[in-house]
A and B are shown apart, each in its own frame.
Chain A
């Protein structure tokens, strides 16, 4: 019962949280120079009257505050508004892009977690050996290399060798392929952007796993398990690892949000039709409502992800209880 109340309370807090965040984001977009119509103003073939008509049609002639509340009023009815640029409901645009982002993010999410956690354990158990040092160097490279740089290098290599397609989710022939070849083609196209994302995120996980396991390995209860004469494998899995997962669960919850918020830079460089690229382009074009919708989605996911993390934590750790 306590847990249900706790979840309800957390979800209720989400409402004011979301409200404040939308105000901040909306204000920031308003404060940034330029508007959506600027690109049309530069075009001499568009008359003043047309511009005024567009302004009125898009609601840009109203004060910012009015625009905001107009948008908020729609949001309450789960209407994300229209995109200025695409002239289509934002919800449709996002729906189209969601799959691309989800495929890419989930793929790299699963791989980063498996690789990060496994290598973290290996690194901790082989502390200070050559294996640990090599893994550490790789991890720090992953943390230090900016994603855009790695992406560009990969892209350059793909272009030079021709081993990988240089971008996009579909090839021109995808529509003509049978399901299995289309799947293979998409999977092949997924590799480079997924590698870019994975290389940036597994490293952090690996270091967390290594650190938390090493902390626990020094605890007396682990020592006691060894003093019982248990095989080291049992000591590690039954006593050490179970106590070393707390920080990872917290990170897991927080990173759930990444699954649907899109990787702006990677998606842009690899021309991946995902949410990140959509949002980035919308930002450049001052396509307010697309940006706002993407903000709302990220915020809700972040809060829910953290909530899931907290619930998981309570499920695995008897010391944590929510009243």
Chain B
């Protein structure tokens, strides 16, 4: 990418700071469960995502956190249309892509890229780094010929801290951190606007994690990228993201500005999540009271009545068993779905 292009992007970014680049409205993704050998009967659904809505603004990092199986990755996969949504809208750059055909999706696919958690599985072992990097550009016609693609691939390698001679190597010849750099270069190869980062550092050594995070932050600053960041690592989320959504059993239970949500969590689940991550100060860590949740995450097939969190909630009240709490705003940029909101106001 030329410097002019970068500059232009940054300017666009400044010009449209509040532009919503991705909006999800009442998104649902159910996986049907069938039983029976010859005659199949639909016996239920795994409600992986159940009616979630959020907005992601240009240039921000929007984090999605939650336990394994809460629907974080399914959210990203559905937004990328790797799996079709059951219901709801996915607006990318102002267009609802939830029902577009494969051909109609192509221009949007160029704008959205993904970096996976496991760098080993995310690169095709039969392809050289050069092929891995040039295939997306050639496919999306970002470049006109192979030579141009190669030049651009070498430039991308340089950007992620690798060398031109790495072009002819195969993925297995690199370390985990290097592979993740290649995966990032591949994501950048088509000049995307939104990058989904599905736990991009959790498979790496701590020392390498920091390098990858810094690399990602640099690119975000220089190119005005928008990140949708899926993670378990709450301290990392706080460090790099602007807004955060906490998911539990396919729903967003609390969402808002990362500092507001983390400093002043309302939902008991958010509190428990936050208390589960250690504080790097032994003095505070010793005195700190941890909220230990009892029980396991309920099955997403048969969920509890009322609030899904009620069997594990230390503050369970009568109304929690009856109806799922409405999402309420407690400040301009902080929403929560919990009856404790009303208590707090009293």
A-to-B contact residues, CB < 8 Å: 133, 219-221, 223-231, 239, 242-243, 316-319
Contacts and interface: CB of A to CB of B under 8 A. Distances in A.
Interface residues of B, number: 28
10 smallest CB-CB distances across A and B, nearest first, come from: A229-B109, A220-B122, A221-B124, A220-B116, A318-B170, A220-B121, A229-B106, A319-B172, A219-B121, A242-B126
B123 interface: yes
B114 interface: yes
A318 B139 contact: no
Contacts of A225: 124
B7 interface: no
A121 B155 CA distance: 39
Interface string B140-161: 1000000000000000000000
B139 A230 contact: yes
Contacts of A319: 125, 170, 172
B176 to A, nearest CB: 14
Nearest to B120: A220
Contacts of A316: 126
Contacts of A221: 121-124
B136 A228 contact: yes
A230 B124 CA distance: 15
Contacts of B135: 228
Given A223-B116, A227-B114, 18 more contacts: A220-B116, A220-B122, A221-B122, A221-B124, A223-B77, A223-B82, A226-B82, A227-B82, A227-B113, A228-B139, A228-B140, A229-B102, A229-B110, A230-B139, A316-B126, A318-B170, A318-B172, A319-B125
Nearest to A223: B82
Contacts of A231: 102
Contacts of B121: 219-221
A319 B173 CA distance: 8
B48 interface: no
B109 A227 contact: yes
9 contacts: A221-B123, A227-B80, A227-B113, A229-B105, A229-B109, A230-B139, A231-B102, A316-B126, A318-B172
Nearest to B126: A242
A228 B139 CA distance: 8
B118 interface: yes
Nearest to B119: A220
Contacts of A229: 102, 105-106, 109-110, 139-140
Contacts of A219: 121-122
Nearest to B34: A128
